[in-house]
């Protein structure tokens, strides 16, 4: 069993049985300070008056501890392009030296690849070149380490040899001196090491781009924790790189016409996220918020933060046992399935992106762990982002419009997504969307690869005045990483197919007006109800464990009977008449076909029961069967109970509902009367057939 924690967003392993204890490295000095008192442990179990009081006390103590941690991080750095420009603009020699260092390192590597290709040894030298690239990224520092981490999750971009080598950038980086780390802990927390921990590993469990982690045991509770300590001089290293990269962004904005997105804005967004990662108190607050929003699901685990032992450069968190999500063999040895864990990650990511809008922006394999209990553990909450509320609903609506191939509506969605300013005419964009999606949607949406959609949309975005907002780039990163992880286990995995149940559930159950309109748009076309769409939504939605038949029924009825529902009521009345007629006549068909042949002749004088085309009757039978299947899907829902229909019956007793029912009955009566008159008068229908034409006996 390996024990895993996170530092700088990456996991660190300790094999079971490897002991640890306090060890003073050479040159380490103890600072005599008063020890802090550890926060009171959380109370578990059923709530009672006593436990509630204890919980309230614990919460108050936790808030005080968090406030003290905030005070310790008061001088934490924040990203400021102006300050960086002022700092490094006056140091041109340093900037030029770093630029040359980067160009020489990457240029040399590119030259080696060119020579390999020219000599026909490209495949033969893959492993060697991959190791060299990892070494280059490590030598160039944290900024390029993060670039390598991103590439390590993209099997669609990098060969397996590169993936394996770059994956080491997640947890196998050079360490900094332990004396510096222990001195940092004492300085940041204001107490000697032995007053905090009864034991701590003499060397780091592992190291990553922003810091390194030690395994320790708290002195006052005996709890095992992970202590993340920030690398010394990290701000200087990333500050210079972002200053240079931002200069490149200005160059791209000015001279590279093919890129219409504001490159500087994207760089600033990414840089601000990285700087947030340097404030470990902020990371702790992010973890607390993430846990509150998403750890309500039993298959999601988020470690607790120990605020009394946290500062801007030191983070103490709960120790987590687990295996990285890209170690399929190790996961399967625990009796777990990688695809199940990835699907859990996708469902959680969709909740992050589309429900609360607060999402983990750096979900690479080092931050996603499979625990022995089968839970998916999220680590490293330094880089978080938010999806604007309007954009959340617009994304779901965009999927509906894509399914419907409504390219005009898709183009208009870009206003809500903040891709286009309100004064931009979207009409020229529609043909480009149609050209791409008509070809892409020759397959079902669930068969599409997420990367295919991203690449296709990217080609459209480059042609028109789109301004891709920073949150969208982080969403793409999040979902492409998850799809990349799944591709390790199943090259045919499709993230859109795994996302379908969530979208279906939201459309069927969310009372938000925007989504209700999107559902109506999906189900009705040219005044006709598309029962196949409803059936598919129910089939997919029922795969989501949070799906509720009750929630799927009541919001629709409330909308139908509301003051703004007249247009929908008209459509529903027409469809209700059609369905009732189909059920009535098809039941009559079944009865007719069950009567012995000699009795049919006596009853109907040798004629068919109703003159009707075979095609029309077949269509009615298909409609009836589909309606019955849909009802069966609703009844098969885990939480379905006839008692759930009681509120619906109350709604149906309202005057608007009684009026609606009367209109439906009137329509049915008219249709059946017309058919009866047609039968009596034997009006011709070409081609005509009696009900006995469907007699299968």
* Lowest-confidence segment of 69-83, 467-481, 507-521 by average pLDDT: 467-481
Residue 612 per-residue DSSP state: B
Q: Is residue 697 part of a domain?
A: no
d(CA 302, CA 290): 8
Span 327-344, mean pLDDT?
89
Q: Which residue has the higher pLDDT, 594 or 423?
A: 423
d(CA 573, CA 578): 9
Backbone angles phi and psi of 338, in degrees to 5? -60, -45
* Lowest-confidence segment of 54-63, 346-355, 356-365, 637-646 by average pLDDT: 637-646
In the block, tokens 């300070």 appear at 33
* Lowest-confidence segment of 173-177, 480-484, 549-553, 641-645 by average pLDDT: 641-645
Backbone angles phi and psi of 255, in degrees to 5? -115, -15
Rounded CA Rg of the chain: 32
Catalytic residue among 178, 299, 362, 510: 362
Q: What spatial distance separates the first Cα and last Cα of the chain, rounded to whole Å?
A: 66
d(CA 249, CA 219): 49
* Lowest-confidence segment of 49-63, 305-319, 478-492, 622-636 by average pLDDT: 49-63
**Tens-place pLDDT, residues 57-78:** 777 888 888 899 989 988 888 8
Give the neighbor-by-neighbor strand order of the sheet with 2-7.
10-15, 2-7, 320-321
pLDDT at position 407 is: 86
Q: Do 97 and 224 reside in the same domain of the chain?
A: no
- Pairing between β-strand 10-15 and β-strand 2-7 as defined by DSSP bridges: antiparallel
Backbone angles phi and psi of 436, in degrees to 5? -75, -50
Q: Which residue has the higher pLDDT, 636 or 32?
A: 636
Span 644-657, mean pLDDT?
50
pLDDT at 607 over 50: no
Q: Do 132 and 249 reside in the same domain of the chain?
A: yes
Tokens for 605, please give them: 């004088």
Do residues 319 and 16 lie in contact, with contact meaning Cβ atoms separated by under 8 Å? no
Measure the CA angle with vertex 79, ends 75 and 83; round to 5°: 90
Q: Is residue 35 part of a domain?
A: no
Mapping DSSP onto H, E and C, the string for 329-391 reads: HHHHHCCCCHHHHHHHHHHHHHHHHHHHCEEECCCCHHHEEECCCCCEEECCCCCEEECCHHH
Q: Do 197 and 98 reside in the same domain of the chain?
A: no
**Tens-place pLDDT, residues 669-684:** 655 555 555 544 444 4
Q: Is residue 502 part of a domain?
A: no
pLDDT at position 316 is: 96
d(CA 596, CA 588): 14
Measure the CA angle with vertex 155, ends 149 and 157; round to 5°: 85
Distance of CA 44 to the CA centre of its chain: 30
Q: Which residue has the higher pLDDT, 557 or 51?
A: 557
Q: Do 356 and 229 reside in the same domain of the chain?
A: yes
Boundary-marking domain end, from 344, 379, 414: 379
pLDDT category of residue 498 using cuts at 50, 70 and 90:
confident
Do residues 352 and 296 lie in contact, with contact meaning Cβ atoms separated by under 8 Å? no
pLDDT at 341 over 60: yes
Q: Do 264 and 329 reside in the same domain of the chain?
A: no
Q: Which residue has the higher pLDDT, 375 or 474?
A: 375
Average pLDDT score over the chain: 76
Q: Is residue 243 part of a domain?
A: yes
Q: From 101, 137, 130, select the one nearest 116 (Cα to Cα).
A: 130
Span 137-156, mean pLDDT?
76
d(CA 386, CA 470): 10
Do residues 541 and 547 lie in contact, with contact meaning Cβ atoms separated by under 8 Å? yes
DSSP letter string, 641-689:
-GGGGHHHHHHHTSHHHHHHHHHHHHHHHHHHHHHHHHHHHT---SSPB
- Residue 576 belongs to domain spanning: 548-595+613-680
Say whether 257 is catalytic. no
pLDDT at 495 over 80: no
Q: Do 138 and 183 reside in the same domain of the chain?
A: no
Residue 446 per-residue DSSP state: G
pLDDT at position 159 is: 79
Q: Is residue 69 part of a domain?
A: no
d(CA 172, CA 488): 21
Q: Do 164 and 268 reside in the same domain of the chain?
A: yes
| Widest distance between CA atoms in the chain | 111
Q: Do 169 and 189 reside in the same domain of the chain?
A: no
Residue count (the chain): 697
Q: Look at residue 202 and give its three-state secondary structure.
A: coil
**Tens-place pLDDT, residues 191-248:** 999 999 999 999 998 787 788 999 999 998 999 999 999 998 888 888 999 999 899 8
| Torsion angle, alpha carbons of 432, 434, 438, 441, to 10 | 90
d(CA 432, CA 458): 11
Backbone angles phi and psi of 311, in degrees to 5? -145, -170
d(CA 370, CA 331): 7
Q: Is residue 665 part of a domain?
A: yes
Q: Look at residue 524 and give its three-state secondary structure.
A: strand
* Lowest-confidence segment of 87-91, 163-167, 443-447 by average pLDDT: 443-447
Q: Which residue has the higher pLDDT, 12 or 430?
A: 430
pLDDT at position 600 is: 59
Q: Do 210 and 289 reside in the same domain of the chain?
A: yes
Span 93-116, mean pLDDT?
92
Q: From 149, 128, 146, 135, select the one nearest 106 (Cα to Cα).
A: 135
pLDDT at position 611 is: 54
Q: Is residue 242 part of a domain?
A: yes
**Tens-place pLDDT, residues 615-636:** 777 777 887 887 788 777 766 6
Span 500-516, mean pLDDT?
83
Q: Which residue has the higher pLDDT, 265 or 449?
A: 265
In the block, tokens 């149906």 appear at 652
**Tens-place pLDDT, residues 393-417:** 888 888 878 877 888 888 888 888 8
Q: How far is CA 151 from CA 190, 219, 373, 470, 660, in A?
A: 39, 41, 29, 19, 59
Tokens for 441, please give them: 């949607």
pLDDT at position 371 is: 94
Boundary-marking domain end, from 328, 351, 379: 379
Q: Is residue 405 part of a domain?
A: no
Percentage with pLDDT > 70 across the chain: 70
Q: Do 204 and 295 reside in the same domain of the chain?
A: yes
pLDDT at position 97 is: 93
| H or E element in which residue 72 lies | helix 49-72
Mapping DSSP onto H, E and C, the string for 206-251 reads: EECCCEEEEEEEECCCCCEEEEEEECCCHHHHHHHHHHHHHHHHHH
Q: Do 260 and 150 reside in the same domain of the chain?
A: yes
Boundary-marking domain end, from 347, 379, 411: 379
Q: At what angle do helices 160-167 and 126-140 cross, to 10 degrees?
A: 30
Q: Do 124 and 198 reside in the same domain of the chain?
A: no
**Tens-place pLDDT, residues 363-395:** 777 788 999 999 999 988 988 888 888 888 888
Beta bridge partners of 10: 7
- Number of folded domains in the chain? 3
Backbone angles phi and psi of 634, in degrees to 5? -65, -45
Burial profile 659-691: b = 16 or more Cβ within 10 angstroms, e = fewer: ebeebbeebbeebeeebeeebeeeeeeeeebbb
pLDDT category of residue 16 using cuts at 50, 70 and 90:
very low
Do residues 288 and 491 lie in contact, with contact meaning Cβ atoms separated by under 8 Å? no
Burial profile 377-394: b = 16 or more Cβ within 10 angstroms, e = fewer: bbbbbbbbbbbeeebbbb
């Amino acid at each position: 069993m390996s024990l895993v924690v996170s530092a700088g967003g990456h996991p660190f392993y300790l094999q079971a049985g490897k002991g640890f204890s306090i060890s003073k490295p050479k040159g380490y000095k103890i600072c005599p300070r008063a020890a802090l008192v550890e926060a009171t442990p959380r109370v578990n179990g059923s709530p009672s008056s006593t436990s509630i009081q204890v919980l309230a006390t614990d919460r108050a103590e936790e808030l005080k501890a968090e406030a003290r941690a905030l005070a310790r991080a008061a001088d934490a750095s924040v990203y400021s392009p102006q300050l960086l420009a002022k700092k490094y603009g006056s140091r041109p020699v340093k900037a030029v030296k770093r630029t040359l260092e980067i160009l020489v390192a990457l240029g040399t590597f590119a030259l080696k690849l060119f020579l390999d290709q020219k000599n026909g040894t490209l495949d033969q030298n893959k492993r060697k070149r991959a190791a060299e690239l990892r070494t280059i990224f490590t030598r160039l520092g944290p900024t390029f380490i993060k670039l390598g981490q991103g590439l390590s999750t993209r099997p669609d971009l990098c060969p397996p040899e590169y993936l394996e080598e770059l994956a080491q950038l997640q947890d196998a980086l050079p360490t900094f001196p332990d004396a510096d780390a222990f001195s940092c802990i004492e300085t940041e927390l204001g107490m000697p090491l032995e007053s905090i921990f009864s034991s701590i590993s003499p060397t780091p469990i592992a190291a990553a781009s922003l810091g390194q982690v030690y395994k320790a045991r708290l002195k006052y509770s005996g709890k095992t924790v992970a202590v993340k300590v920030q690398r010394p001089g990290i701000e200087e290293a990333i500050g210079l790189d972002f200053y240079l990269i931002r200069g490149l962004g200005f160059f791209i904005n000015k001279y590279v016409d093919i890129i219409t997105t504001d490159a500087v804005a994207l760089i600033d967004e990414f840089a601000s996220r990285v700087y947030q990662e340097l404030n470990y108190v902020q990371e702790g607050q992010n973890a607390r918020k993430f846990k509150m929003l998403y750890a309500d699901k039993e298959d999601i685990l988020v470690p607790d933060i120990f605020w009394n032992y946290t500062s801007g450069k030191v983070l103490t968190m709960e120790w987590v046992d687990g295996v990285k999500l890209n170690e399929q063999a190790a996961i399967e040895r625990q009796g777990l399935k990688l695809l199940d864990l990835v699907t859990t990650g996708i469902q959680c990511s969709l909740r992050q992106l589309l429900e609360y809008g607060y999402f983990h922006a750096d979900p690479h394999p080092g931050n996603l762990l499979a625990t022995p209990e089968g839970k998916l553990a999220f680590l490293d909450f330094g880089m978080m982002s938010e999806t604007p509320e309007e954009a959340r609903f617009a994304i779901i609506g965009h999927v509906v419009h894509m399914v419907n191939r409504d390219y005009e509506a898709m183009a208009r969605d870009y206003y809500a997504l903040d891709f286009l300013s309100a004064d931009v005419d979207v009409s020229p964009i529609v043909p480009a969307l149609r050209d791409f999606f008509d070809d892409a949607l020759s397959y079902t949406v669930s068969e599409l690869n997420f990367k295919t959609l991203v690449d296709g949309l990217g080609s459209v975005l480059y042609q028109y005045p789109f301004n891709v907002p920073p949150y969208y780039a982080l969403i793409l990163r999040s979902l492409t990483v998850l799809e990349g992880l799944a591709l390790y286990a199943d090259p045919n995995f499709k993230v859109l197919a795994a996302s379908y149940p969530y979208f279906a559930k939201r459309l069927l159950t969310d009372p938000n007006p925007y989504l209700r309109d999107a559902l109506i748009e999906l189900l009705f076309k040219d005044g006709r109800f598309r029962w196949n769409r409803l059936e598919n939504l129910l089939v997919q939605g029922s795969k989501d464990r949070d799906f509720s038949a009750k929630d799927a029924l009541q919001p629709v009825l409330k909308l139908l009977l509301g003051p703004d529902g007249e247009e929908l009521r008209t459509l529903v009345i027409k469809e209700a008449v059609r369905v009732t007629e189909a059920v009535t006549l098809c039941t009559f068909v079944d009865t007719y076909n069950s009567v012995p042949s000699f009795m049919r002749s006596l009853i109907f004088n040798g004629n068919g029961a109703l003159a009707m085309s075979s095609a029309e009757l077949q269509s009615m039978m298909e409609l009836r069967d589909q309606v019955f299947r849909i009802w069966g899907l609703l009844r098969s829902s885990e939480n379905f109970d006839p008692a759930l229909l009681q509120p619906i019956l109350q709604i149906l007793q309202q005057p608007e509902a009684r009026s609606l029912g009367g209109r439906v009955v009137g329509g049915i009566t008219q249709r059946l009367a017309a058919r009866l008159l047609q039968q009596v008068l034997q009006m011709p229908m070409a081609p005509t057939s009696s009900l006995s034409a469907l007699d299968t006996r």
